[in-house]
Structure 1
Amino acid sequence: MINSELWRLNATDLIALTRSGDVSAEDSVRSAIERMHQANPDLNAVVEDLSAEALERARSLDQARSKGIAPGPLHGVPVTIKVNVDQKGHATTNGVVALKNLIAPDDAPVVTNLQNAGAVVIGRTNTPEFSFRADTDNQLYGRTHNPWGRHISPGGSSGGAGAAVMAGIGALAHGNDIGGSLRFPAAANGAVTVKPGLGRVPAWNPSQTAERGLLAQSMSVQGLITRSAADLHLAMPSLIETDPRDPFHVPMPWRGSDSEGTIKVAFTKNTFGYALHPEVEKALDTAREALTDAGYDIKEVDPPDVFECGRAGYRALMGEVMTLLQGDITAAGSQTIKDIFGVYFQEFPPIVETELVRMLAKRTYYAREWSLFLQDYHLVLSPFLPQPFFKPNRDTEGAEGVHEVLGCAVYSYAMNFLGLPAACVPARLADLPNGPQPINVQIAARRWREDLAVDAAAAIEARVGPMAPVLWDKLETSV
């Protein structure tokens, strides 16, 4: 492969070349930058181009290697960082015009960990205002587009990250997830991710002036969106490195015990009254068949009530948002985001005051129910969304739009409320009237067993195949 085509490689294949010395860090990064300059103008996924400093860092990595310094586990791998996380010397805008000059005094733990491992940041990716939509658009940077076509939202809030990595702009894309913001973009773009469990990845923004609310702290996690499950196994061990700035980080190895025996999977198609689209059902059947053939023990059984848990959790989160963030949204948000939050509060009536304290206590009840269920099952295979991914701006279309975008996504935000890990992987490429569209499924896992969820995602990917080469063929034939 010529150096200009290195952007096509996933991180696992690329690192084999950079760590062996067959490819320089500079060549790896330069190829990704050239791809960014080619693809990003049509996508608006990367909203801050860091080409110059990325090439400078890549050269310094090559120089260090020439002096005998061992390369890191992500040596020369190009990555992107979402604009709601601190990167020293750059604005942590969170997609908000009023924050365009909020320059980070230092790196957040995820940025530190990626760079310590040898990764090179080539750009910062778009997010909706306050990172609180499942779509990605804002008045500061504008709309991000899905590389599969403009009839599909790129997802949110890590929509820039999902669109970038699937377009070949960096082999790894940083994102975060408080209710689905890693998994929505993965599902929208046909990428792979795992939402880590509570305490797994250290998090903190040095630019923040106050601590986040308790639910924001316990539901929000940092992670990666990738083109292959193998890349999560490659990169997540670096992301979970301890950082003392997060006092609640749990220092555990990425891989758990190997003495699990046959992995038992609870399989459900239950969508709690929401219509299950035939293409989503086909994706679920394919995922089940792939895991069965890979040696997993699958049993069709419903887990504890994810609908009640998910809705309660998101209503509690809305109560915290109303209490702590509504003033900022009112003062600095666009009319679009104000209107969306107005509908959020209708779809998820906020739990506040004494009832919020009671719901925070009841969170342990829900978590215990799932913990007991997961004594019998290692994993839960379920829909992510009951329907194919929605169109751009669907959440601006009143109560019906918000209901389609978030109301039905209980399998997503329930995992945040529970603090459990959950992978999201494409299991089908659907041929829909507007064109081909990936369909993702979700794999929830026992606490601390992100690795098992990613293993299962890899087994499904082995059956279905990665989506990126199909996407790139589509893009090349349409030019």
Structure 2
Amino acid sequence: MIDKTMTRRQFNKLLTAGVIVSAEGLLNSSLVATSFAKTSDIPALGSYSATSLIKAIKNKKTSATELLKYFIDRHKRLDPIINAVVTTDFEGALKRAQKADEALSRGETWGPLHGLPMTIKDNIEVAGMLTTYGFSYFKNYRPTKNADVVQSLLDAGAIIFGKTNLPALGKDTQSFNDVFGQTNNPWDIEKTPGGSSGGSAAALAAGLTGLEIGNDIGGSIRLPTHFCGVYGHKPSYNIVSMHGGKKPWKKKHSNYPADIDLAVKGPLARSAEDLKLAMDVIVAPPYYQRKAIKIKLPDSRKSKLKEFRVGLWIDDSLYPPDNDVGNCLQKMVTELTKTGVNLKNEKPDIDLKQCHWLRGDLETATTSHFPPSGNYEWAMSQVKTLKEDDHSGTARWVRAMTGTHRDWNKLNEERAIMRQKWEDYFQDFDVLLCPVARIAAHDHDHTKLASRTIQFDNETLNYWDVVGPWNSLSLVSYLPSTVAPIGFTPSGLPVGVQIIGPYLEDYTSIQFAKLLERMNGSYKPPKGFEF
């Protein structure tokens, strides 16, 4: 039996000597019986991909119940350090896990996620499970109906045992709120894991869950995966249902809720392969449309690195990455060059600043009716006082919040032009590589987002201009975007790259992430979370 107290160096020494097999091999070896005691002894089981865990369950190398107990144990030991999984239903999950094992013993399989323990971002409705949106007004809200994406996961055999933390109403790029407090980054607890899917990314990085689903309207999947060194995918717009249970701020439930511009739900994982696994399950229209509509995404354009035509946009005169992030990106380019991949420093005919501003205007417009309603009233009181040449962040927000339908049509036309430019670009390229953000994870900062600043290369800059511009590129134009970890800063913080693909060709950007993963190696957990 493997001693759980052995150090990483001792484990690697035994691994090299052949005394024990690799982590991947452990799940497929005779060393692992179907008792929880032995399963819990496997080093770094929490760093395995969801794909590997499901395979182990279906091959009866472990069981859904044993695996869930393993995550429960890790939650009790490790979650207090980072506060990522803030709501749990272990009792209900254990009952479902036992049923999954019983079904498998009869030769029945529920689906591609059979028996996989996983968590869900707090603002995605799971029937009967606390769903607070990180906002104290909803601290006791329990929906009676699953969000469509949750139902798809359950239909595929997943076991949802908890909810992960986020900022209040998802409106920040860090994860803290008055209901559950602050979530810490497992790589450095003094740093933020990002937001708004910060609890999701932190839980994955710490090995507290098998798979996660978050949402993204301002980089909320991509920024946390970059900060936490895991994988994330922002799907093409409107291919994963955003419909869910009754929103607590609505007086009446509607089976036909209004779709939200820009916003998407998507997977976070410890492996690019898991992103494909999850997308195969969750890509679908709202349930009320499934009687007539199906969505089938095309396969990846290419399968091997050498086949890909890769565009590079890893720097920008207005929004350059800092030295640490820039060096990681350049190192990735050097390594890719060695593989013979077709790389070219060429970007689409799009201005990053214009896109950054357009995303802010569109996001404000599409959420202008969201609570609290006082935001709109305040903006209406300010709009007539603005000077024509005032293009500050506050002025742009006020104009977008109070804009007419004609104003929105102008924004949408500007977006349509950008979409055509991307379509033209992808006639010559398969993917574009660019930064996720200009910096790696930063210190916690609970000041108001609208007035928040940050030090960047000895300058005090507007916070959103540092973390926001690059993730606007794919968001505005409805494009798929995959984040893959590519290295670490000198201080040991993860750095990711953003892989933007053609519209509706999500599997092309995910495939490229899989090839990067093979080049860089599989996920390794942060110090202190190995066992």
Q: Same fold (TM over 0.5)?
A: yes
Q: 1:451 aligns with which of 488, 491, 507?
A: 507
Distance 1:295 1:15 in 2: 34
Structure 1 Cα separation of the partners of residues 63 and 117 of structure 2: 12
Q: Does 50-59 or 275-284 show the bigger shift?
A: 275-284
2:124 to 66, 77, 85: 85
Tell me the amino acid that sits aligned with residue 190 of structure 1. Answer: G
Counterpart for residue 326 of structure 2: 281
Match of 1:374 among 422, 426, 433: 426
Amino acid at match of 1:3: T
Q: In structure 1, how many angstroms separate the alpha carbons of the residues matched to 2:452 and 2:257? A: 26
Using the TM superposition, give the Cα deviation of residue 137 of structure 1 relative to its aligned residue in structure 2, in angstroms.
0.4
Distance apart, 1:319 and its partner CA: 3.2
Q: Name 1:236's counterpart in structure 2.
A: 279
The DSSP-based 3-state class of the residue aligned with 2:348 is coil
Check the 8 A contact 1:236/1:254 in 2, yes or no. Answer: no
Name the CA distance, whole Å, in 2 between partners of 1:330 and 1:446.
35
What's the counterpart of residue 528 of structure 2? 475
TM-superposed deviation, 1:26: 0.9
Give unpaired runs (5+ residues) of structure 2: 1-25, 27-37, 378-391, 455-460
Aligned to 1:461: 517
Q: Match of 2:91, SS? A: helix
Contact 1:219/1:419, CA 8 A, preserved across alignment: yes
1:437-466 CA-partner distances (Å, limit 9, x unpaired): 011111100011211111221222223334
- Whether the 8 Å contact between 1:43 and 1:147 is mirrored in structure 2 is yes
Distance in 2, matches of 1:450 and 1:241, equals: 14
Alignment-derived partner of residue 345 in structure 1: 394
Q: Aligned partners of 2:50 and 2:344: how far apart in 1?
A: 34
Distance 1:111 1:456, change over 3 A: same
Question: Aligned pair in 2 of structure 1 residues 14, 110: CA closer, same or farther (>3 Å)?
Answer: same
Q: 1:133 to 1:19 in 2, by over 3 A?
A: same
Q: Please state whether the residue corresponding to 1:151 is helix, strand or coil.
A: coil
Taking the aligned partners of 1:77 and 1:114, their CA distance within structure 2 comes to 10
Contact map agreement 2:46 2:206 (CA 8 A) in 1: no
Q: Which residue of 2 aligns with 1:226?
A: 269
Render the CA deviation track for 1:252-281: whole Å, top value 9, x for unaligned.
146345699932111012334234312212
The question of whether the paired residues in 1 share the 8 Å contact of 2:303 and 2:511 is answered with no
Tell me how far apart the structure 2 counterparts of residues 255 and 406 of structure 1 sit (CA, whole Å). Answer: 35
User: Given the superposition, is the C-alpha separation of residues 294 and 121 from structure 1 closer, same or farther in structure 2, using an over 3 Å criterion?
Assistant: farther
Letter of the structure 2 residue corresponding to residue 264 of structure 1:
R
- What does residue 336 of structure 1 align with? none
Instruction: Tell me: CA distance 1:297–1:249, structure 2 relative to 1, closer, same or farther (3 Å).
Output: farther
The aligned residue for residue 187 of structure 1 is 226
CA distance in 2, matches of 1:262, 1:395: 46
Q: Identity across aligned pairs (percent)? A: 26
Aligned to 1:255: 299
The match for 2:19 is none
Q: 1:347, CA displacement in angstroms?
A: 7.3
Q: 2:373 aligns with which of 324, 327, 338?
A: 327
Write the mapping of 1:78-477 to structure 2, written as runs, cut at 5 A: 78-208=117-247, 209=250, 217-245=260-288, 251-253=295-297, 255-256=299-300, 262-305=307-350, 306-327=352-373, 345=394, 348=397, 350-351=399-400, 352-353=403-404, 354-393=406-445, 396=448, 398-401=451-454, 403-406=462-465, 408-432=467-491, 436-469=492-525, 471=526, 474-475=527-528
Q: TM-score, normalised by structure 1?
A: 0.88
The 5 A counterparts of 1:40-55 are 40-55=79-94
Determine if contact 2:319/2:465 at 8 Å carries over to the other structure: no
Which SS does the other structure have where 1:358 is aligned? Answer: helix
Q: Give the drift of 1:346.
A: 5.5
- Relative to structure 1, the CA distance from residue 222 to residue 311 in structure 2 (aligned partners, 3 Å threshold; closer, same or farther) is same
Using structure 2 for the length normalisation, give the TM-score.
0.80
User: 1:328 & 1:95 partners in 2: Cα distance?
Assistant: 19
Structure 1 unaligned blocks of 5 or more: 332-342
The structure number with the bigger radius of gyration is 2
Give the total of aligned pairs: 460
Contact 2:431 2:500 in 1 (8 A): yes
Tell me how far apart the structure 2 counterparts of residues 106 and 387 of structure 1 sit (CA, whole Å). 39
Q: In structure 1, what is the equivalent of residue 39 of structure 2?
A: 3
- Cα deviation, residue 242, structure 1: 4.7
- Judged with a 3 Å threshold, the aligned counterparts in structure 2 of structure 1 residues 301 and 113 are, in CA distance, closer, same or farther, namely same
User: RMSD value over aligned CA atoms?
Assistant: 2.8
Distance 1:66 1:329, change over 3 A: farther
Distance in 2 of aligned mates of 1:198 and 1:249: 16
